[in-house]
Amino acid sequence: MSKKSNQIEKELNEFLEGKLPNKLYHYTNLNGLKGILENSEIWLSNMYFLNDKNEFELGLRFVVEQLEAYKGGFSVLKPTKYFIEALEKAIDFIKEKDSPYILSMTTNNDLLSQWRGYTNNGVGVNIGFSNRFFEENKLKVYKCIYEVEKQKEIINHILTQSIFMFIRVADSQGIFKDSEEIELSKYDKAVSAAGQYFIDRTMFFCSLIKDKSFVEEDEWRLLLFDEKSEINFLNKGNYFRPYQKIKIDNLNDSINEVMMGPNSEKELCHLSLKMLFNKYKIEIKKLNQSKIPYRN
């Protein structure tokens, strides 16, 4: 591994183990809040059904472009050509696979674009969760990656590492040096090991690559790749939105604060939220009001 690759690998590991902000905020409409309190659970949406239509596919486009650029050099040898073809099939597998489920959050608890985009035009709340909630429940939360050069650098690194992992495994079997005389099926062990690394890393980082137009949101994502969890469906009018549930054991300890959006019926909304909080034994002092003078 080159010095640059070592540095990128180190940065990625630091990213994976990075410290969470003290609080993260999830914007939702009033029904969303009621559902969380009523059922003691949070819902994670299928990534293909989010506001940004490029979700997940943006990173995959970078993968396809970079793999195409690699083809010429790595197709000279039979084994690496065989592996490149396997990676192309892996990309098709990823596209057909059910996407990750996520809960979108941000460090900004009073952002107009969030009130407009994720509540009923300001009628809603954001729910503040402390980092302790995620850590104690072993929930994995990561910051979205907006910088295009960093996105491409990560994808390039995943591809490079996958190819050289394939070569290392094949070489450890003693078959790479005589590549022209070896049956291609003999490389399947190396293809499987390096291919799994490629699929896991690609799915993970493509879940965090986000269009730079959304950088203001400073989004953090709770990611769930659990294929065994039950998939539920919510009627959205023209389609059903798939989602998965995560139970919350102690609502009052888990919810750090709630901010009410720039609602034209502030007094009634505030009173109704106090009554709702009282029903589910949530401390009233956790309720705040947006300071944005937005007339919705």
Tokens of 198: 């490629």
At residue 86, does pLDDT exceed 90? yes
The three-state secondary structure class of 169 is helix
Residue 72 within a domain: no
Q: Is residue 201 part of a domain?
A: no
**pLDDT by residue (tens digit) across 100-149?**
899 999 999 999 999 998 899 889 999 999 998 998 888 989 999 999 99
pLDDT of residue 179: 61
Instruction: Identify the residue with better confidence: 269 or 178.
Output: 269
3-state secondary structure of 122: coil
How far apart are alpha carbons 268 and 183 in whole angstroms? 74
Question: Is 177 a domain residue?
Answer: no
Taking the model in full, what pTM does it have?
A: 0.87
In a domain, 85, yes or no: no
Strand, coil or helix: 71: helix
Does the residue 113 lie in any domain?
A: yes
* C-alpha separations of 211 from 41, 59, 106, 146, 154 in Å: 29, 10, 16, 6, 15
pLDDT of residue 1 exceeding 60: no
First to last CA, the chain: 55
Alpha-carbon gap, residue 128 to 139, rounded angstroms? 15
| Cα 161-165-171 angle, rounded to 5 deg | 145
- Side-chain half-sphere of 2: how many Cα atoms within 13 Å? 7
Residue 43 falls within a domain, yes or no?
yes
- Residue 89 forms part of a structural domain: no
Domain, as residue range, for 277: 3-57+101-164+209-289
Mean pLDDT of the chain: 88
pLDDT at 76 over 80: no
Band of residue 201 on the pLDDT scale cut at 50, 70, 90: very high
Count of structural domains, the chain: 1
Would you say residue 53 has pLDDT above 60?
Answer: no
Tell me the H-state helices in the chain: 3-16, 30-39, 57-74, 78-96, 112-118, 131-136, 148-172, 188-206, 251-254, 266-279
Contact residues for 150 (Cβ-Cβ < 8 A; gap 6+): none
Most confident range (mean pLDDT) of 42-51, 76-85, 152-161, 285-294 is 152-161
On whether residue 252 sits in a domain, the answer given is: yes
